[in-house]
Amino acid sequence: MKRFTDLADFPRAEVQQLVALAQRLETQPEPQALAGKVLGLLFMNPSLRTLASFQAGMARLGGSSLVITPGQGTWQFETRDGAVMTGAAAEHIREGLPVLSSYCDALGIRAFAAGEDLEDDLADKRFKAMAALVDRPLINLESAINHPCQALADWKTLDELPGSGRRKFVLSWVSHPKALPLAVPAATVHMAAMRGMDVVVLRPEGFALPPAIMDKARRAAADSGGSVAETADRAEALAGAHVLYAKEWGSTRHYGDELADQAQRGSLKDWCLRDDWFAGAAPDCRVMHCLPVRRNSAIADEVLDGPRSIVLRQAYNRMPAQMAVLYRLLKPGA
């Protein structure tokens, strides 16, 4: 494996092998597997789980890591081609990234969507421009349109749930005070479809996932025997659901228009996940969220603190899942 930037780059069997490796490293630790290896982590945007779980995972495999957060102790990065650099940024990624790569055996990059132009973000232009400057094994730590590490950990979390046969997976939009990127919803709907689940995207009008995201998920479902549908009808979506994955994202009707987005989400405060959403769901329906989550805005305390929530296990699984990715990228012959 040379790069881990999209779950769609791998056949389903290879993803299952990665999850099996994550489980093995959990039960049979290999504290010297990556001794002497260095992982660089470049965060253009904030993080708790991704940063801490990669550093912890690398240490548990015997390697070390360094973290760069431009503008916070290191030079602020300019990312635009052709920029006249008279502003705050003292270093261009054209120098910064190759320099950073040269110190490391693998590099992870987090670069969120600019949130201005939907087509640019769907094409993942910012991340791809940065990835092109890296000549080392590369990991996507969340880009405009993908979060493969979250998706791999979520795959493992779903494997741990009881039950077999066809499972209904609902990805539901939930309320948030401002527009958030499409990376997690895009990665999640694809991951669940790739698993062969019956996937329903539940979202209010104006928040439909773009055709490029839905079509990618539908292609994965066609290969796996799953299905992908969407609706704005909560009762229809939740009927018989085994998993409800809650996530916030920005209006796709008003992408990049903050005021119009705000006006649209202003009337959607009842999209805070509460116990009464589960009236028609399977009795053991579980709740997932990638975190961070705003309590009582996106998900009510009663759900997060109740027996349906598996969000902490989901967050824990980031570490073994990423250890499996690091092992595949950096251990010769693995």
- 212-242 in b/e form (b: 16+ CB < 10 A) is ebbebbbebbeeeebbbebeeebeebbeebb
Nearest to 206 by CA among 268, 164, 284: 268
Per-residue binding string, ligand CP, 40-79, x by CB under 6 A, is -------xxxx-----------------------------
- In angstroms, the Cα distances linking 185 to 99, 181, 292 are 33, 8, 14
How many residues are listed for the chain in this entry? 334
Least distance in angstroms from the C-beta of 185 to ligand CP: 12
Q: Choose which of 5, 79, 150, 175 interacts with ligand CP (CB under 6 A).
A: 150
Q: Does 16 bind ligand CP (CB under 6 A)?
A: no
The C-alpha angle with vertex 164 and arms to 158 and 170, in degrees rounded to 5, equals 50
Q: How far apart are CA 70 and CA 89, in angstroms?
A: 9
Closest to ligand CP by CB, 131 vs 149, is 149
Closest to ligand CP by CB, 235 vs 291, is 291
Q: How far apart are CA 38 and CA 27, in angstroms?
A: 24
Closest to ligand CP by CB, 242 vs 247, is 247
Least distance in angstroms from the C-beta of 333 to ligand CP: 30
Least distance in angstroms from the C-beta of 223 to ligand CP: 26
Q: Does 325 bind ligand CP (CB under 6 A)?
A: no
Least distance in angstroms from the C-beta of 324 to ligand CP: 17
Least distance in angstroms from the C-beta of 57 to ligand CP: 13
Q: Choose which of 20, 85, 222, 291 interacts with ligand CP (CB under 6 A).
A: 291
Q: Does 290 bind ligand CP (CB under 6 A)?
A: yes
71-130: contacts with ligand CP (CB under 6 A): none
The C-alpha angle with vertex 177 and arms to 176 and 182, in degrees rounded to 5, equals 50
The rounded Cα 206 to chain-centroid distance in angstroms is 22
Least distance in angstroms from the C-beta of 98 to ligand CP: 25
Q: Does 132 bind ligand CP (CB under 6 A)?
A: no
Least distance in angstroms from the C-beta of 263 to ligand CP: 27
- Can you list the positions of beta strands (E) in the chain? 3-4, 38-43, 64-68, 77-78, 91-92, 106-110, 138-140, 168-173, 198-202, 227-231, 243-247, 286-288
Closest to ligand CP by CB, 160 vs 215, is 160
Residues in the interface with ligand CP (CB under 6 A) total 9
Closest to ligand CP by CB, 47 vs 69, is 47
Closest to ligand CP by CB, 221 vs 299, is 299
Least distance in angstroms from the C-beta of 149 to ligand CP: 7
* Peptide bond just before 292 cis, omega within 30 deg: yes
Helix axes 12-27, 183-195, angle to 10 degrees: 100
102 in Cβ contact with 95 (< 8 Å): no
Q: How far apart are CA 271 and CA 136, in angstroms?
A: 42
Closest to ligand CP by CB, 52 vs 282, is 52
Closest to ligand CP by CB, 66 vs 180, is 180
Contacts with ligand CP, residue ranges (CB under 6 A):
47-50, 142, 150, 290-292
